[in-house]
Structure formats: C-alpha cells, structure tokens
Amino acid sequence: MSTVSEIRVRAGRRSEMALLAISWVIIVLARAQVDYNAAYLEISVIALYGLGTAVLMIAAHVVLDKVAPNADPVLLPAVFALNGVGIAEIHRIDLAEDTSFANAQMIWMALGVTAMIVVLLVLRDHRKLRRYTYTAGVVGLVLYLLPLVPGLGITVNGARIWISILGHSMQPGEFAKIALVIFFAGYLVTNRDTLALAGPKFLGMRFPRPRDMGPLLLVWAAAMLIMVYERDLGASLLFFGIFLGMLYVATQRLSWVLTGAGLFFIGGTVAALTIPHVRSRFDAWLHALDADTYASGTSEQLVRGLFGMASGGLFGTGLGNGRPDLVPYAESDFIIASLGEELGLTGLMAILTLYLIVVQRAFRAAIGVRDGFGKLLASGLGFTIAIQVFIVVGGVTRVIPLTGLTAPFLAYGGSSLLANWIVLALLLRVSDMARRPSEEAVPA
Amino acid sequence: MNEPVRRLSVVVLSLVLLLMMSASFIQVINADDLDQDPRNVRTLYKQYGNFRGPFVVEGESIVWSDPVNDPYNYQRTYSEGALYAAATGFYSIVYGRTALEQTENELLNGTDDSLFWTRLGNLFAGEQQQGASIELTLKPTLQQVASEQLGDQRGAVVALDPETGKVLAMVTSPTYDPALLASHDTAEVNENYQELLNREDSPLVNRAIAGDTYPPGSTFKLIDTAAALEAGMTGDSELFAPQELDLPGSSNTIGNYGGESCSATDTISLSDALRISCNTAFAQLGMDLQWSVIERKAQDFGWTESIDIPLAVTDSRLPESPDQAQTAMSAIGQYDVRATPLQMAMVAAGIANDGVLMKPYLVDTVRASDLTVVDVTEPEVYKEAMTSSDANALTDMMVGVVDNGTGTAARINGVEVAGKTGTAETGQDTSPHAWFVSFAPADDPAIAIAVIVENGGSLGDEATGGAVAAPIARALMEEALRLQGEGNL
C-alpha cells in the first residue's frame, strides 16, 4: 500500500454552502430563463422550484455536516449544477413538445438526493463494502444481463439495455456499473500483486503471464456478450473501460491496458462488421453527412444534433430560444446537443468542465484515502463518470459512434439519475475519509 | 496506487479536451457549412417560425399568423390576399419576404428595438409574445373599387390623400394571392411560384410603384403648365399651336390627336391647350421654356429622387440634356420621360394640396401586441412643388379638362373634378397606355388619383386616357366622396 504524506485540509463545509448558493442561483435562473424565452415567466412557479431545490441542497448539506463533515466541498455543488441545468433544458423540451419530463426528473432528483442521504447515513465507512465484493460482482453481472431476459428486456432504438417491470422501464446497467466498480475494487485490491507479475517481454514492454489472463478474458467475454446481445457499443465500452481503468490503477501496468484495448478493438471490429445494428451505428458515425446514410435514416438523429449545435455557435441561442426539439430524444440521449444549441460552445465547455471537476475531485479522494480498496473505489467511480461522459458527448460530437448511454446528472432518466446520485454518495464517503485529519483516520 | 491515478486523471483530461475540440469543430469551424446544409431546416424555422403580427386595414386584420401544429408553429393567413398583395407582399418559407412583409419584418416578428419595453412588459402577462400589428392607410372599399374597375386589364391605380400623403389605394393588375406562396408545402410553393413567374403578364410585379416605369404622355403637360405658370405665364397666355410642328434638326413632326388642329388661328391659350391636350402647343412651350425649367419643375414633384413609402419606389426618369427636338417630345411626356403611377398621383396630390406635396406613406400606426401604440406616421411635407396661387390656377385649368375637355368621362354631378388625360405612345405596333390623373373635390380635395391602363386595356388601339382611364378614376372619386360623406375619409 502506498503511503500518503499528510495534507492539511479544511473541512470546507462553509465553502460548500457558498458554492451551493452559486449553484442554486445558476439553476434557478436557468429555469427562469427557459420560461422567459420559451413561454412566460410565472414567478410563483420559479419560486416553488427555487424553494424545492434549496430544501434539497440544505438537506444534503446538513446531512454531510453530520455524517461526513470532511467530505469534498466541491462535489455536491457541481452535481447540483449539472442536475439543475439538465432540468432546465428538459423543461425547455417539454415546452416545445408538450411533454412533462421535467416534472418527473425533479421527482427523480429528490429521490436521488434522498438515496444519497440514505447511503451516507447507512454506510459510515466505505471499507465495509469490501465484504460484499463477490456479491456485488454477481449483482452487477445479473443487472447487466437482465435486459437479455425474454419478456423483461425491451429494445429501444435497436439497443437492448432497458428492462420493463410493472410498466416502468429502467436501465439496470446504470446500477450495474456501481456494483461492478465495488466488485473490481475488492477483487483487484486482493489480486493486484499476482496480476502485476511480469510475463514475457514484447515490443519493449512486459506483458502479463498468459496464465494470469483469465480474469481479463472473462470480463472481455462479458463485454462482448453485452455488445452482441444487447447490441449496445456504449454499455459494452463503459463496462470494459471501467475494468481496464481500474486494472491499470491496481497494477500500474500499461501492458494490461494495451492487451485489453487490443482485444476490445478486435471484438468491436468484428461486431461492427457482422452485427447490423452496430454496423449501422458505425456507418452513421463515419459517413454521417453522406446523402445515402442520411437518407436511409441511420445518421439523421446524429446530423440533426450537429445542425442544432452548429446553430448554437459560440454563445448559443440562449435557453429557450433554440429549436432543440427538432432532434429526436433531445431530452435524454441528445441533451448535450440541446445544451450545445442553446448555451453554445461556451456553455458546453462549462458543462464539460463541471464533469472534469467532479472526476478530478474523485481522483483527488482516491489519492488522499489510505486504503487500497478506497483508492480503487473512488478512482473507479470517477473514471466511470468520465468514460460515460466521453461515450455520450463523443457520440453526439462524432468522436466515436453514437450509443444509447445518457449524460450523467444531465439527461432525462430515472435510473441514470438515481444511480449517479448514489455514485456521488460513495465518492463523498471516500473523500470524507481521505480528508479526515490523521488522528481520526485510525481504523476503529 | 497514486501514480496510476494521476496518470488516469491526465487521460481523462485529454479525453475531455478531445471532446472540447470536436465540439469547437462542430460549433465554430464547421458551423457555417452545417447551417447552410440544405437538409438543415433549423435556419428556416428560426427565421419563419415566429408569431408574426397582423396587417390591419380599418380595424380588420387582412393578414395574420395562425398557430398550426407543424415545425413552423404559425401559418401566414390571408383574408383577401390578392386585393392587398401589392402592399403586403408575400411571406414564403421558400422565396422569402417581399413588400411590407419585408420592410416591416422586425416590427412584425417583434424583434424591433422599439418593442423592447413591450417585450419586457409582456413577460408577466402570460401571453405568447406576438409581433406588432401594422395598420395600413389603405381603404378597403377604394381598393375594392379600383380592383373591380381595372378588372382583367393590365394597369395600376394609386390614390393619395393630398393633405396627408396617406396612400388610400394601391392596386396593380394582374396580381396574385400571397397564400399561394405562404404554404409550408415547399413543393407546392415552388410550383405556384414558377407558374406566377412564367406568366407573360407578370402578376408578381407591382406596377403602381415598381414595374417598368411608363411614359406619362399628356399627363406630363401638368408639369409643363406648372413650369409655365412659375415663369410668369397665366391661363390666358397665348401659345403657338400649329396643326403640325416641325422638330428642329429632324424631318419629323409632332401632330395632335387624330391629326386635328388645336385652333383655327394657330394660337391657343394655355388653359385651352391643357383642356384639349394640344400637343403642338406644349411641344413648342417646352422648347420656349428650355428643358432645364421643365426638368426642375418635374423634380419639384419628385422625379429622379428615390423615395420609399416604405416600399422602395422605382425612380421616375427624365432625359439627360435633350436637344430641341427631344425637348419637344419630352414636353408631351414621350421620348425618355418615365413615371410610376405613384409619381403621377403625387403630381395630382401636390397640385390638389395648394402646391405642397406630402410624403406618401402606407403604414399608419404600429401597435404592440398589447395594443399600445408603438409608432404613428406623422404626415410630412415632401416638397414645396409650386406656389399656392399657381396651384389654384392649375386646378382651375384641370377642372376645365373634366368640364369640357378630354376628361369629361370623369365628371361627377355636383362636384368639381380636376383631371388630366394622357395617351402615351408605346411604339409602332402596340396600343398606347391610357392615363388619367385627377383629384376631387377641386376646392377641397379628398383624394388624388393616378390611373394607368396598359396598352389601352380593353379598347386597344382606340383607347385614350379619357375613354379608358377616366371612368376608373371617376368610380374611385365617387367612392371617396361617399366615404367622406360618412366621415370615413
């Protein structure tokens, strides 16, 4: 285990309050601006929204003060800002399309904050999670594969990453990723020494011994299973990416990452060539603007998103002034394009920066915390958010093929929001430990 | 394990930078291309998908935007599209905007600076923000009469309120229904537009202000007379009026209508010359006065100067340094003299209003969606065209034209009407244009009118201004007098 030099940190609860206030002003103004521009401003509605979000913020803040007083003060305000900006934009789409996603999303936000509070209250020490390593592994795998169960899974947009229970649909993959991070953290912290053992040297790099390749191949196979049967490159990439990232943190061996990435690339290429749905996603990505691809409808959504972002330009049309409703799934899969249109490149950069802040604070907690499990847990969860953002934003901006994942905290979707607030709870828990003055940090 | 976490954070940073670069590429570098992509309907929707204000005449909307359930949200709708097309123009997602739809665009769509406070005030009212409404100066019944009178003849009618410059009627014939071009079905709009464009009688052209300008013919003699009066002549001044006038430096001659002589003595008074529209007398007068004098008088009435009402009006033209023969031809409104029907209506209005020419305008009042007045056009003196006494003298002579001259077809019982006919030659093989310029009542004019019927209209070669155009003007004046009697003018 690495040793950490003592870093004196202030608890920062007061900074958190100030940042939350800024966050609150931003999200209430964003919501008000949408009404101002796209409908009409009704002060009572905005006041109610302001009150509701303030109650959530204060509740979260008070609970943190009690049960995680040393937790990172930046995470909570950043996440509230993302969630609130998302709600403003979803409300904007509602106004254009006469839907009511924003109301549902506000309820999910309240449930998410509640879930975060519950996790913080119940889980006083993240190390307890290590006991459930294999349970988490099984739960994660089951959740990931649940959409494949006939009669339960439903196909949306060609991808089978949703399930339907009693008329409610959810994306179990969103929760699976948490369970898998816990599993990988617990597994890798135990087996990292074996996995780090060097094998044959090739291309100036030490590769793992073939006999240690088992776990990697197993996870790779699972990822391929997801890609082939759920027909979703995004879920597969997220799943495998989390594993590779954590494997690297645990073993510090680039060769593992390269081996894994190579395997995934081969698998992905084969899938792209053989599975029609994945293949059409690749076509849409590579030839989005070609007349044929567009006419066939495969790249229409992507291209409409590009048109939207282009019309936003540097500074955007202003919240409520654009036409994000011209893009299908503008409130969920394409909320990034909607925000790019109405807030412009500037707004998009700000949002990406907020994500970057959240991820970097997670990594900071990983570096600060003393136990290996905590390091892997925090860096794994942070990296999960990072890859998911990359897959979603990269898909919309044509860096990678488009997939069915949604932007964490921003996009409409109850499973996603709930799961990500739980991710935040775990990060806050680890960061509380990481930033605790050393005399308190002695394990009880 | 801290080192790999730090490296991982560098990887994440790079990934985010990659996203930022690609977003910059889309939103800035490649944005213009994407904006202009023909498949991108967004630019179009942005431009056309607004709750546009209506056009209103006499308290009733004639053009408005109806909410519809398509991506444009609103459909431009016309109650009597063809009747007002010359003024309103069309509003098409394919072919853009014309006429007042174009010039008043920012008021109609609500983005004009003058609507700022209204926009702010509307915020809390709970209403969808609509653009301003544009109230026109046009009178529905006058439009109707002018349109019916022109019928299927090609031509135009412009009627002005001489005291204010309000355009009371502006009709061009043939015209079109803007609804044909306002549909959101682009294929249908394309087809309709091509059909209108290919028609040989050019229905899309507003002949009243922006068609090919017309030679004014004998109506230009009003300018000669005004110039003569200013030079000190009176209605009784005798003019040389031979049966045929030799043009200096050329073998051509100028004759009178039907080859007749104007008088047995070869001289004629100025007022009689105008009354019977004696060509030789005015041709000689033109040469005697010098072109520069007539040119200045024409400019006093608005020739060669750009004007917008707020529609852009084609400049009326004058010849440049004509020789004596060309001066003689120009003095009777031929050669290179050209005028829009609006220009000729302005001549009538200037004389009618004691020599003071008011600036013509189509937009009376602009109201915000909450009905507060944003702007009212105040009547404005455009030019001091002639002195009051000269104007009165000219009016008397024009009354003579209608009483017992070439314009008797415009007579109205019990009302003094001032007018002037014009029959403008257009070439060897085509029938002349028939003009009539008039105002009534002569002593306190309510309306000043110019009528042109292209190529003699239904009468063809036999046409004269008196026969074809004067009855149209009379019908309009009668309607105007009726409106005045009701207190509506």
| Residue B8 Cα, gap to closest chain A Cα (Å) | 7
Cβ–Cβ below 8 Å for A352 and B8: no
| Residue A252 Cα, gap to closest chain B Cα (Å) | 6
C-alpha B258/C-alpha B253 separation (Å) is 14
Least confident of A105-119, B123-137, B194-208, B258-272: B123-137
ipTM: 0.91
The mean pLDDT value for B369-389 works out to: 92
C-alpha B388/C-alpha B396 separation (Å) is 12
pLDDT single digits (tens) B250-293: 778 888 877 778 888 889 999 999 999 999 999 999 999 999 99
- The answer, for B17 touching chain A at a CB cutoff of 8 Å, is no
- Nearest residue, CB atoms, B37 vs list A2, A250, A307: A307
pLDDT band at A438 (very low <50, low <70, confident <90, very high): low
The answer to whether residue A6 is domain-embedded is no
* Model confidence at A444: pLDDT above 50: no
Q: Which domain holds residue A251?
A: 13-441
Q: Is the dihedral of CA B350, B353, B357, B363 positive or negative?
A: negative
Contacts of B255 (CB under 8 A, 6+ apart): B243, B244, B245, B279, B280
Is B217-363+379-485 in CATH node 3.40.710.10? yes
> From A398, which residue of chain B is nearest by alpha-carbon distance?
B22
SS (H, E, C) chain A: CCCCCCCCCCCCHHHHHHHHHHHHHHHHHHHHHHHHHHCCCCHHHHHHHHHHHHHHHHHHHHHHHHHCCCCCCCHHHHHHHHHHHHHHHHHHHHHHHCCCHHHHHHHHHHHHHHHHHHHHHHCCCHHHHHHHHHHHHHHHHHHHHHHHCCCCEEEECCEEEEEEECCEEECHHHHHHHHHHHHHHHHHHHHHHHHHCEEEEECCEEEECHHHCHHHHHHHHHHHHHHHHCCCHHHHHHHHHHHHHHHHHHHCCHHHHHHHHHHHHHHHHHHHHHCHHHHHHHHHHHCCCCHHHHHCCCCHHHHHHHHHHHHHCCCCCCCCCCCHHHCCCCCCCCHHHHHHHHHHHHHHHHHHHHHHHHHHHHHHHHHHCCCHHHHHHHHHHHHHHHHHHHHHHHHHCCCCCCCCCCCCCCCCCHHHHHHHHHHHHHHHHHHHHHCCCHHHHCCC
pLDDT score for B167:
97
Residues of chain A neighbouring B122 (CB-CB closer than 8 A): 40
Residue B221 parent element (H or E): helix B221-230
| Residue B79 Cα, gap to closest chain A Cα (Å) | 28
* Model confidence at B461: pLDDT above 50: yes
Say how many domains are in chain A.
1
With CA atoms as reference, report the closest residue to B53 among B136, B123, B121, B120: B136
Residues of chain B neighbouring A394 (CB-CB closer than 8 A): 18-19, 22
Active centre residues of B (catalytic) = 218
Domain boundaries, chain B: 217-363+379-485
pLDDT single digits (tens) A268-315: 888 888 888 778 888 889 888 888 888 788 888 899 999 999 988 898
* Model confidence at A9: pLDDT above 70: no
C-alpha A335/C-alpha A301 separation (Å) is 12
pLDDT single digits (tens) B20-49: 999 999 999 888 888 888 788 777 777 777
C-alpha B409/C-alpha A61 separation (Å) is 92
pLDDT score for A7:
55
Chain A window 39-68: which residues touch B at a Cβ cutoff of 8 Å? 39-43
Residue that wins the pLDDT comparison between A329 and A196:
A329
Bridge-based pairing state of the strands B55-57 and B133-136: parallel
Cβ–Cβ below 8 Å for B2 and A375: yes
Residues of chain A neighbouring B12 (CB-CB closer than 8 A): 356, 359-360, 363, 382-383, 386
pLDDT single digits (tens) B220-238: 999 999 999 999 999 999 9
pLDDT score for A149:
82
pLDDT band at B121 (very low <50, low <70, confident <90, very high): low
pLDDT single digits (tens) B72-111: 888 999 999 999 999 999 998 888 889 999 999 889 988 7
pTM assigned to the model: 0.65
Kindly calculate the radius of gyration of chain A based on its CA atoms and give it in whole angstroms: 22
| Residue B111 Cα, gap to closest chain A Cα (Å) | 13
* Two structure tokens written together for B31: 């944005």
* Model confidence at A418: pLDDT above 90: yes
| B124, burial (CB in 10 Å: exposed 0-12, middle 13-18, buried 19+) | exposed
* Model confidence at A377: pLDDT above 60: yes
Residues of chain A neighbouring B45 (CB-CB closer than 8 A): 323, 326
> Would you call B348 helix, strand, or coil by DSSP?
helix
DSSP one-letter string for B106-163: HHHTT-SGGGHHHHHHHTTTT------EEEES--HHHHHHHHHHHTTS-EEEEEE-TT
